Structure 1
Amino acid sequence: MYIKRLQPEDGEYYRILRLEALRNNPEAFSSSFEEEKGNSVEFYQNRLKSTLSYTFGAYKENELIGVVSLVCEDKLKIRHRANIFAMYVSEEGRGKGVGRKLMSEAINQAKCIRNIEQLYLTVVSSNEPAKNLYASLGFEIIGEDKKALKVGNTYYDEDLMVLYLT
């Protein structure tokens, strides 16, 4: 297994895994499968071209089995912050350290970006494995957003977590 920063040419693999994530874990993302299923490969290629974001992929042989995105803020007053988005590991990669390696790569990238002092993420409050992973990497819960997401008729609370880099 290896980690690499995804490039536009990885757009098709990213699209496939992204749609799997939205289908399998709709409670974990603010986007939905229904909203993204019609997006073209070019849409994802353009996302991977962004100068304000870094998307890392975990590969087992030539198969993309996990992703995470680090997105930097560009407004003057919050340029010291970045966000972790779209964290997902496929079933076959879970429990094998893939999520930890992806998160470590994103954190290390953030440390290399001038002025980034804080990393933020949100996680469904009931997702104990993810919360434990983030806490083990130094993230701490700083707030809770009640009924943050609604999937069908079910509401999900989210915890806001932060990692202070300085």
Structure 2
Amino acid sequence: MPPADLTIRLLTHADLPAYKALRDTGLQHDPEAFTSDFDTASALPPATYATRLGQPPDDHFILGAFDAGGAMLGAVVCEREARLKKRHEAELVGMIIAPAMRQRGIGKALLKEFDTLVRKLPGLEHVVLSVTADHAAAVKLYEGAGFVRYGLQPRAIKIGEQYHDKALMLKQL
């Protein structure tokens, strides 16, 4: 069950510093979950992520989960292709929950609102994502939200000499 005082809303330009801080924490805490690396991404300014902002029916947006004090506890990003032949598909990218706030229903609440918003996007038929295959809690979270695994990308991420597979998942709308 998510905290009673949890607020989920679309991010604005004013939220970008908090989003970047949350993302940097995620990159540092779970490097195998991201294709970006901490050293490169942490050097970027918050404005780098402005292209991800939007309001439905835009093709991209970031949802944030906030506590009563306004601290960002989690975020999820939707991106959609501009190419006509891929307009039926959106991608869920960059799901991040603050490490200290996991297992409290925040991810589930974000995915529920994400689902509500993507269903408003004209012509959208399904959402895809990739998740580090051995992150059982993340895979279970996505399965609980209706995503099904359709493939595996072996050795998708390489950190040092260690590889991590990515499970490829899809949700029909």
TM-score w.r.t. the length of structure 2 is: 0.91
Q: Do structure 1's residue 54 and structure 2's residue 55 form an aligned pair?
A: no
Equivalenced residues, count: 165
In the other structure, the counterpart of 1:3 is 8
Aligned residue for 1:112, secondary structure, equals coil
Shift of 1:152: 1.4
Gaps of 5+ in 2: 1-5
Cα shift readout 1:16-39 (whole Å, capped 9, x = no counterpart):
111111111100011111111111
CA distance in 2, matches of 1:96, 1:18: 19
CA distance in 1, matches of 2:77, 2:59: 10
Correspondent of 1:104 among 94, 108, 112: 112
Q: Do structure 1's residue 120 and structure 2's residue 138 form an aligned pair?
A: no
Aligned residue for 1:95, secondary structure, equals coil
Shift of 1:137: 1.2
- In 1, are the aligned partners of 2:59 and 2:121 still within 8 Å (CA)? no
CA distance in 2, matches of 1:125, 1:104: 22
Gaps of 5+ in 1: none
- In 1, are the aligned partners of 2:73 and 2:97 still within 8 Å (CA)? yes
% identical aligned pairs: 30
Moved more, 90-99 or 44-53: 44-53
What amino acid does structure 2 have at the position aligned with 1:5?
L
- In 2, are the aligned partners of 1:12 and 1:44 still within 8 Å (CA)? no
In the other structure, the counterpart of 1:91 is 99
CA distance in 2, matches of 1:60, 1:81: 31
CA distance in 2, matches of 1:52, 1:86: 15
- In 2, are the aligned partners of 1:125 and 1:156 still within 8 Å (CA)? yes
What amino acid does structure 1 have at the position aligned with 2:146?
G
Aligned residue for 1:126, secondary structure, equals coil
Shift of 1:91: 1.9
CA distance in 2, matches of 1:136, 1:47: 25
CA distance in 2, matches of 1:41, 1:121: 24
Shift of 1:41: 2.2
| Superposed CA RMSD | 1.3
Aligned residue for 1:157, secondary structure, equals strand
Aligned residue for 2:19, secondary structure, equals helix
1:1-166 to 2 correspondence within 5 Å?
1-48=6-53, 51-61=58-68, 62-165=70-173
Q: Which runs of 4+ in 1 moved over 4 A?
A: none
- In 1, are the aligned partners of 2:64 and 2:110 still within 8 Å (CA)? yes
